[in-house]
Amino acid sequence: MFKLLVNRDYAALFAAQIVALLGTGLTTVALALLAFELAGSDAGQVLGTALAIKMVAYVTVAPIAGGLAPLVPRKTYLVTLDLLRAGLVLCLPFVTHVWQIYVLILLLQACSAGFTPVFQATIPDILEDEEDYTKALSLSRLAYDIESLVSPALAGAALLFLSFNAFFYANSGAFLISALLVFSITPRRAKAESAPVDIVDRITFGILAYLATPRLRGLLAMSMAVSAAGAMVIVNTVVLVQSQLNLAEEWTAVLLMAFGFGSMVAALSMPRVLLFVDDRTVSLVSGGAMGIALALGILMPGFAFATVLWAVIGAGYSAVLVCAGRLLQRSSTKPDRPAYFASQFALSHGCFLLTYPLAGWLGATYGLSVAFGVLAVLTFVSVVVANFVWPSQDERTLAHTHAALDHTHLHVHDAHHQHAHEGWEGPEPHRHPHYHAPLHHSHDFTIDLHHPAWPR
């Protein structure tokens, strides 16, 4: 897995991810302390509102950014958003009112919603071999899990010597380093685009193309399963440990570490597992395992067994997310990839926007057993839906027929573009009105401008 780092461009992107993750982890701690400084006992309400704003920004901004990203050179786009994030984080130490936190979080997360999916879509452009890309996905999951363990410990040690405002400065510096690392990568060669020319069509293209792809409809159902299990862990771990089991707060960290341990084991295993088992089977089995773990939680187990359940949920969570990246790569061409990744980013966070408050409300109103039960049912239903909408024979190469068509878009002369020129059109890729004769052929099929519907 770590041999991938000999690729200079991938190593730069991975380093940028690590630095930005650590900076963001420190800001998460600092934001909680800032909220307490400004709101006192109402800090939880402030943070809850900030989390809701974050999710709304992710769901609404990501599809727009994914549709518009191809209009700007990829490196310029990513560096600009990193610089904007650095500037916005730098404003947080000067906040004096709660409403200012909300405004800055909205702007900061809007930038992240534009940055993250396009950044993720850049990696498969660099690592075109699917096996290498699978290893990169596992490495990315590993980075997220390690950060969740390292950042709180690093923050705790730093607070012995520094004010929490120093964390905001550190995060701003982290985004600047990320921008420099992204700037250092070699620009990808320009590719013909297949997205629509109209601006509204560009924005909606990613979501419509995603939902028109059967395997991605299955992925959306699995994203709901992941969000149901993940929300139970994120929202109710502290309630289970300190209210239900009457243990000290440090055991909350231990239980969350069990979730992270399961996630890391799965991340390290996925490159080898996926050589022998297809993504559909891995995803469905992982979703079923998370559902079973939640169902066993109804019995309100002791702490030791709860660590096993949390590890199982963590493993299933990580396995589905690794498969998600592979499915998005397989279902899109390079020019369209940011729109697909942005759609997954928005839709998956939309699932969390539903399950976060559901997990909290059920646990607070009816108790943890009911929360476990309802979220287990939601997980199982999601897996069943995925099983039905995701074809078991998920072929990549499909025979299909094109009707005659006149249109204009940026293109190269490939299997879909065999037409005469008059000399003024310029070098490829170029844009001019052109005609497509009726055609029947086979190739790796993805939804794009020339393939608006899945073949039956």
CATH code, domain with 17 = 1.20.1250.20
Domain assignment of residue 454, given as a range: 209-391+444-456
Is 398 domain-assigned?
no
Q: Are residues 251 and 354 in the same domain?
A: yes
Q: Are residues 134 and 236 in the same domain?
A: no
Q: Output the tens digit of pLDDT for each of the chain's 456 residues.
A: 778 889 999 999 999 999 999 988 888 888 888 888 888 877 767 877 888 888 899 999 999 888 888 888 889 999 999 999 999 999 999 999 989 999 999 999 999 999 999 999 999 989 988 899 999 999 998 888 888 778 777 877 887 888 888 989 999 999 999 999 999 998 665 555 555 556 777 788 889 999 999 999 999 999 999 999 999 998 888 888 888 888 877 788 888 889 989 999 999 999 999 999 999 999 999 999 999 999 999 998 899 999 999 999 999 999 999 999 999 999 988 888 888 999 999 999 999 999 988 988 898 889 899 999 999 999 999 999 999 999 998 787 777 776 777 777 677 777 667 777 767 667 777 777 877 777 776 767 778 777 777 887
pLDDT of residue 191: 57
Q: Are residues 101 and 221 in the same domain?
A: no
Is 437 domain-assigned?
no
Taking alpha carbons only, the member of 221, 215, 311 closest to residue 267 is: 311
Asked if 203 and 327 count as a contact pair (C-beta separation under 8 A), the reply is no
Q: Are residues 162 and 217 in the same domain?
A: no
258 CB-side CA count, 13 A: 17
Is 411 domain-assigned?
no
pLDDT of residue 228: 95
pLDDT of residue 196: 57
Q: Are residues 98 and 131 in the same domain?
A: yes
Strands of 287-426 (E only): list them.
Answer: 397-402, 405-411
> Could you give the number of structural domains in the chain?
2
pTM: 0.88
What is the token pair recorded at 456?
A: 């039956």
pLDDT of residue 217: 96
Q: Are residues 449 and 387 in the same domain?
A: yes
* Beta strand pairing call for 397-402 and 405-411: unpaired
Boundary-marking domain end, from 131, 154, 186: 186
CB atoms within 10 A of CB 74: 20
- DSSP line for 267-292: HHHHHHHTTTS-HHHHHHHHHHHHHH
* Beta strand pairing call for 430-436 and 439-444: unpaired
| Residue found under tokens 């991810």 | 17
User: Quick one: which H or E segment has residue 444?
Assistant: strand 439-444
Q: Are residues 248 and 327 in the same domain?
A: yes
Asked if 290 and 312 count as a contact pair (C-beta separation under 8 A), the reply is yes
Q: Are residues 265 and 171 in the same domain?
A: no
- Encode 124-136: b = buried (16+ Cβ within 10 Å), e = exposed: bbbbeeeebbbbb
Is 193 domain-assigned?
no
Cα 397 to Cα 406: distance, rounded to the nearest angstrom: 25
Cα 439 to Cα 402: distance, rounded to the nearest angstrom: 5
In sequence order, which ranges of 40-129 are alpha helices (DSSP H)?
A: 43-68, 74-91, 98-126
Q: Are residues 247 and 125 in the same domain?
A: no
Asked if 403 and 438 count as a contact pair (C-beta separation under 8 A), the reply is yes
Cα 69 to Cα 302: distance, rounded to the nearest angstrom: 49
3-class DSSP state for residue 453?
coil
3-class DSSP state for residue 331?
coil
Is 404 domain-assigned?
no
CB atoms within 10 A of CB 313: 28
What is the token pair recorded at 263?
A: 């996630």
pLDDT of residue 293: 97
Q: Is the peptide bond before 429 cis (omega within 30 degrees of 0)?
A: yes
Q: Are residues 37 and 104 in the same domain?
A: yes
Is 403 domain-assigned?
no
Boundary-marking domain end, from 186, 217, 248: 186
Q: Are residues 16 and 49 in the same domain?
A: yes
Q: Are residues 12 and 119 in the same domain?
A: yes
In sequence order, which ranges of 188-213 are alpha helices (DSSP H)?
A: 199-211
Is 430 domain-assigned?
no
pLDDT of residue 192: 52
Is 423 domain-assigned?
no
